[in-house]
Amino acid sequence: MAEQLVIDPLTRIEGHLRIELEHENKQIKTAWSETTQWRGLEQILVGRDPRDAWAFAQRICGVCTSVHAIASVNAVENAIGSNPPAQAKLIRDMVLASQEVQDHVIHFYHLHALDFVNVANAAKGDPAKAVAFAGQIGSKWKGNTVERMSEVRDTVQGILDSGQLSIFSGGYWTHPDYRLPPEADLMAVAHYLDALDFQRSMIRINTVFGGKNPHPNFLVGGMACTIDQNRSESVNQVQIDQIKVWVDETLAFVRDCYVPDALAIAGVYKDYFDIGAAQPNYLAVGMAGATFAGDPRTARVDATGHYAVKPGVILNNDFSNVLEFDPAKITEDIASAWYKYSDGGTSLAPAVGETEVEYTGPKPPYKWLAGTKEYTWCKAPRYDGNVVQVGPVARVVMAYAQGHPRTVEIVDSAVKTLGISLPQINSTAGRTLARAVECLTSAELLAEHTFPAFVANIKNGDIDVFDATKWDPSSWEYECSGYSFVEVARGNLSHWVSIKNGHIERYQCVVPTTWLAGGRDAAGKQGPYEESLAGNGKHPLVDPAQPLEPLRTIHSFDPCMSCAVHVFDADGIETAVAS
Amino acid sequence: MDSQWTEPTLGENLAKAGVSRRDFLAFCGSLAAIYSLGGAAGTTPATAAKIAEKLEAVEKPKVVWLQLQECTGCMESTLRSGGTTVEEVVLKLLSVDYNELVMAASGDAANQVLAQTNKEPHILVVNGSIPVNDGGIYCTIGGESAEQVLRDSAENALAILAVGACAVWGSVQASNPNPTGAKGVDQIIRDKPVVNIAGCPPIGEVITAAIAYLLAHDLSLPRLDGEGRPLFAYDQRIHDSCPKRPHFDAGQYVRSFDDEGARNGWCLYEMGCKGPSTFAPCPIVQWNLHTSWPIGAGHPCIGCTEKFFFDRFTPFYQTLPDVAGFGVEASAETIGWSALGLTVAGVAAHAGLTAARNASAKKAEKSEPALLGMPTPKRATYSEENKPSDGRSEETGSK
């Protein structure tokens, strides 16, 4: 007889996610993915100045800060016909790349690592052995010193001795499936702390251009930060030199610390390449940072240089057949969500999407949600009726299938080292590995292409950052609409806007986590979170009181629940896809 | 920072710091008085002796750090703090027993930790708003409404910090028409002082400094302004501490982004800067290890430390009214006051708004918020529900 288990709060994610399970004989049989927050901002943007939209949209999420703002300014620029100068686009590319790397690093070390790393065990680690272990896994991180490892061991020991475990209180430290030797746990905890320091430093790339992080400032038509080598109040050689340091430290940390750690954990937990598969369908409009102001087949605006990887869809693991991506094939299903559509059905294209609440769940407090047909605030997007995965795994697969040389090189090497086959990337460990792989290609691109291109342009006298011709609303069409697609940290993001008489008439976002966290559709197909836990009835759950294994799988998706729920959805955008 | 916490227990630390037993009991008595205001049915009124007993035994102060209806930007900002770092906060200064973003445990194990810590004296930090409409269905955690989660954690809290615009007033989701009924912490918890760390998000260093301040001052609260914001961070109007102020006074304005004035770093007032109406330490503390700040990076201030800025200060690029021109400082200051909802008749033009405001923060209690900001009537209407709460005087916060 299957027993029920609720994991709520599911911690170490952004926002509020509840997972309900039925399990039997230490295996998960059924799963429900339940988003338990809705902010209901659907109408808030309606009637506003489109030039303000980025600031509202940015507040969808403070973890993926910047990404919604960048999607928003691109959608508005597409609508009003604004063309930001090349340098403004490069600045946005740098902001996006640094945000993505920082986001992936925080995810791996601070949100995901404790699924594999036993902090309590780290206190038993020998500092010299920890340094040796780091050497064995190819970590050349500058923090791998006996002094540092000793300091960290003492810190951990101090916490344990005090009996006050702080954020480690109630952790699953007695779970039998923590596998790392003490010196590896010690090294990982040291890197956990080093990563905090790293992200604090490198994110200043955002601050130079946007004035703050989280939630830096953006501008429709370009960027507000000026460039001038001969003026102290503009971005000049001082900031260029600073950014150079941060860009270099970004690449160093990812290459020397993150990637070896991710590979080592994937190696120790290798059976997780056979756990946590979802539908082997992938959607991406390019590699991380790919940005389109308009049609994702033609309107590319980023300057990342990864143009060779085109938008595409891969179905049923068929890497040899990359299908053309057609935005018109996206629908959103509400069979399991607390909404109703005016036609009484459960599926609409985002182009004509609606978000009217119809809550049928229990009044809080409640013990169980999955008893009813509807159980989440998250819609369930489908592509041509298929459940698809987005995010680093989808992008790595897309880049690999299209022969992107550096991705092929890194993936082939990892696959060989780990002794796995490529389709196994559709798994808990695979998603975590893919995130590290693309973090390296993104850090390399930032250091070797995007930032040097920005500097070279300055040398050539290109300092324009703003298209003033479309700033005044009187220069806009009376009615216009636009949209954007951006590959952000967690996957494919699109924003859609309709403008009338200088004001927003409709606004909508289709967000990465929505693709992944949604529930069952009208045909009964599970969302990726659900299928990854219950797809084959064999996902391990050794001790329901310590649900470590499902946490590993859900964390491998890097959930961002505030994004997932359709915060800025608005009625019926009749638009942009058609053009 | 150097921790004040050098001895194992609070009692010993206080003794070392020269706090007498008598003073400590007096402090506990004041806490008891605060708690008894609540008088929740079925609870025994706290006594000074009981509180003292509990507090003295506390080794590292326990913290419950809730995230309610929000975007996690405030936790991210905390991670960025270069003052007291998050590592020091979670590993050395405090025992952060519950915080969903960083804690190891999930589900039942997390809820048990929360329930246990809620029973003991603790510091409560809150990110996020509380959606009260429709029985609280719009944000639940562990099957409980956000309001219930907040009330449970507030009951035995020694100090409450509402961190970020959502926790202070509801922020973007509370903007017109506020469909989920999002409210700030001090609209729910009425019987205890709430320190409002304003901003969307607040500067990381300000968040951790607020915590460090509590530790450095035996958990007594910093002095607060009329909106519950600590004076150590929010006593200055951006317009008064802005390095571009001389350009404002000289009439040197940016007229279009990326123009000559912009490259020269002139004043962004005409581009819609809300600095004249905004109290925040951005020009002083700056952001991300003192790297830059919004105006410094060429963008006008959007006023994110002020209540209802998404309604009052939009369109963001529209010039604040009546601050036009060369050297008209008095006019700018009038706007600052109006937008704050304060009555400022008689403020001398050259007295300086910041100084005058600090001297008369009490006015905030009594005056009816005028809700002036941008002339956008559609956005300037509020229901009774989401009207700004009456402020508090600064005395509320100091013990």
Taking the CA of residue B324 as centre, how many other CA atoms within 13 Å lie in the half-sphere pointing to its CB?
A: 2
Q: Which two tokens stand for residue B27?
A: 């402090």
Check CB contact under 8 Å for B106 and A10.
yes
Average pLDDT, chain A: 94
Kindly tell me the sign of the dihedral angle through the C-alpha atoms of A518, A314, A30, A534.
Answer: negative
For range A8-18, the mean pLDDT: 97
Structure confidence by residue, pLDDT tens digits, A22-58: 999 999 999 999 999 998 665 688 899 999 999 999 9
Q: How many helices (H) and strands (E) does chain B have?
A: 21, 9
Residue B357 has pLDDT above 50, yes or no: no
Q: How far is A174 from chain B (nearest CA, A)?
A: 12
Nearest by CB to B299, from A119, A219, A367: name it: A219
Provide mean pLDDT across the span A173-192.
Answer: 97
| Adjacent-strand bridge partners of B267 | B253
A211 contact B CB<8A: yes
Location of structure tokens 């359709």? A566
Which residues 114-173 of A have a C-beta within 8 angstroms of B?
Answer: 114, 119, 155, 159, 162-172
- Which range among A143-147, A505-509, B215-219, B235-239 shows the weakest confidence by mean pLDDT? A505-509
B101 touches chain A (CB under 8 A): yes
Which of A9, A65, A225 is opposite residue B100, by nearest beta carbon?
A: A9
Contact (Cβ atoms closer than 8 angstroms) between residue B36 and residue B155: no
C-alpha span between B118 and B151 (Å, rounded): 10
Contact A38, B138 (CB under 8 A): yes
Burial class (CB in 10 A: 0-12, 13-18, 19+), A324: exposed
Say what the pLDDT of residue A117 is.
98
Higher pLDDT, B48 or A286: A286
Contacts of B48 (CB under 8 A, 6+ apart): B25, B26, B28, B29, B31, B32
Closest among A405, A212, A362 to B80, alpha carbons compared: A212
Tell me, which fold does domain A3-111+202-334+383-564 have in CATH? Cytochrome-c3 Hydrogenase; chain B (1.10.645)
CA A199 to chain centre: 16
pLDDT at res. B6: 56
Alpha-carbon gap, residue B289 to A206, rounded angstroms: 12
Of the candidates A516, A458, A506, A454, the one whose C-alpha atom is nearest the C-alpha of residue A480 is A506
Query: What are the residues whose beta carbons fall under 8 Å from the beta carbon of A414, sequence distance 6 or more?
Result: A263, A266, A433, A437
Q: Does A176 sit behind a cis peptide bond, omega within 30 degrees of 0 on the bond before it?
A: no
Judged by average pLDDT, the poorest of A156-160, B29-33, B237-241, B289-293 is B29-33
ipTM field = 0.96
Write the CB contacts of B217 (distance below 8 Å, at least 6 apart in sequence): none
Higher pLDDT, A573 or A248: A248
Q: How far apart are alpha carbons B373 and B312 in whole angstroms?
A: 5
Pairing of strands B157-163, B194-197: parallel
CB-CB under 8 Å, A41 with B175: yes
**Which band of pLDDT confidence, cut at 50, 70 and 90, is reported for residue B27?**
low
Residue B270 has pLDDT above 70, yes or no: yes
Name residues whose C-beta falls within 8 Å of residue A539's C-beta, 6 or more positions apart in sequence: A27, A28, A275, A276, A532, A533, A549, A550, A553
- The predicted model gives B149-178 an average pLDDT of 96
- Does the beta-carbon distance from A211 to B138 stay under 8 Å? no
Nearest alpha-carbon partner for A102 in A214, A240, A245: A214
Between residues 22 and 41 of chain A, which touch chain B (CB distance below 8 Å)? 36-41
Residues of A in Cβ contact (< 8 Å) with B77 = 62, 214
Q: pTM for this one?
A: 0.88
Number of residues written out for chain A: 579
- CA dihedral defined by B268, B311, B141, A564, rounded to 10 degrees? -70
Pairing outcome for strands A282-284 and A17-24: unpaired
Span A365-374, pLDDT tens digits:
999 999 889 9
Residues of A in contact with B293 (CB under 8 A): 211-212
CA distance B152 to chain A (A): 13
Q: Which helix (H) or strand (E) holds B67?
A: strand B62-67
With beta carbons less than 8 A apart as the criterion, state whether A42 and A569 touch: yes
Non-local CB neighbours of B66 within 8 Å, separated by 6+ positions: B98, B99, B124, B125, B126, B127, B128, B149, B150, B153
Long-range contacts of B108-112 (CB under 8 A, 24+ apart): B108/A6, B108/A545, B109/A170, B109/A171, B109/A172, B109/A545, B109/A546, B110/A9, B110/A11, B110/A170, B110/B142, B111/A9, B111/B142, B112/A170
Chain B contacts in chain A segment 359-418 (CB below 8 A): 359, 361, 363-367
Is B73–A65 a contact, with Cβ atoms under 8 angstroms apart? Answer: yes
For the record, the structure tokens of A492 come out as 């494919």
From the list B90, B135, B282, the residue facing A363 with the nearest CB is B135
Backbone phi and psi for residue B286, each to the nearest 5 degrees, phi listed first:
60, -175
What is the amino acid identity at position A289? Answer: G
Pairing of strands A479-488, A291-293: antiparallel
Inter-chain contact A39–B173, Cβ cutoff 8 Å? yes
**Residue from B32, B55, B56, B30 nearest B45 by CA:** B32
Q: Do residues A432 and A269 make contact, with C-beta atoms less than 8 angstroms apart?
A: no
Q: If you average pLDDT over residues B145-173, what whole number do you get?
A: 97
| SS3 assignment, position A534 | helix
DSSP assignment of B9-52, as one string?
Answer: SHHHHHHHTT--HHHHHHHHHHHHHHHHHH--TTPPPP-HHHHH
Residues forming a β-bridge with B65: B99, B125
Quick one: average pLDDT of A532-555?
97
A125-160 pLDDT per residue, tens: 999 999 999 999 999 999 999 999 999 999 999 999
Residue of B nearest to A116 (CA): B104
pLDDT band for A304, please (50, 70, 90 cuts). confident
- Residue A171's closest chain B neighbor by CA? B105
Residue pair A217/B297 in contact by the 8 Å Cβ criterion: yes
- Chain A partners within 8 Å of B294 (Cβ): 210-212, 217
- Which domains does chain B show, CATH number per domain? 61-221 (3.40.50.700), 238-381 (4.10.480.10)
A392: amino acid identity, one letter: P
Q: Do B289 and A217 touch (CB under 8 A)?
A: no
With an 8 Å Cβ cutoff, are A171 and B80 in contact? no
Q: State which amino acid sits at residue B127.
A: N
- Residue A569 pLDDT grade (very low, low, confident, very high; cuts 50, 70, 90): very low
Could you say which of A10, A106, A166 has the minimum Cβ distance to residue B91? A166
Residues 6+ apart with CB under 8 A from A568: A41, A42, A44, A45, A56, A57, A60, A495, A507, A508, A509
Owner of token pair 């407090």: A365
- For the residues B69-93, what does the mean pLDDT come to? 93
On whether any CB of chain B is under 8 Å from the CB of A547, the answer is yes
What distance in Å separates the CA atoms of residue A337 and residue A380, rounded to the nearest whole number? Answer: 8
Residue B26 CA to residue B55 CA, distance in Å, equals: 13
Q: Looking at the complex, does the CB of residue A436 fall below 8 Å from at least one CB of chain B?
A: no
CA–CA separation, A247 and B333 (whole Å): 42
Phi-psi category of B341—alpha, beta or left, where left has phi over 0 and alpha has psi -120 to 50?
Answer: left
- Measured between CB atoms, which of B60, B72, B200 is closest to A63? B72
- Considering only CA atoms, which of A185, A164, A90 is closest in space to residue A454? A90
Asked if residue A338 has pLDDT above 60, the reply is yes
Interface probe, candidates B9, B75, B76, chain A, greatest A C-beta count within 10 A:
B76
Interface probe for B, chosen from A233, A358, A553 (most Cβ of B below 10 Å), is A233
Which residue in A536, A529, A538, A531 sits closest to A27, CA to CA?
A538
For residue A63, the 8-state DSSP code is S
Q: What is the mean pLDDT of residues A464-478?
A: 98
Spatial distance between the Cα atoms of B253 and B121, rounded to a whole number of angstroms: 52
Where does the pLDDT of residue A352 fall: very low under 50, low under 70, confident under 90, or very high at 90 and above? confident
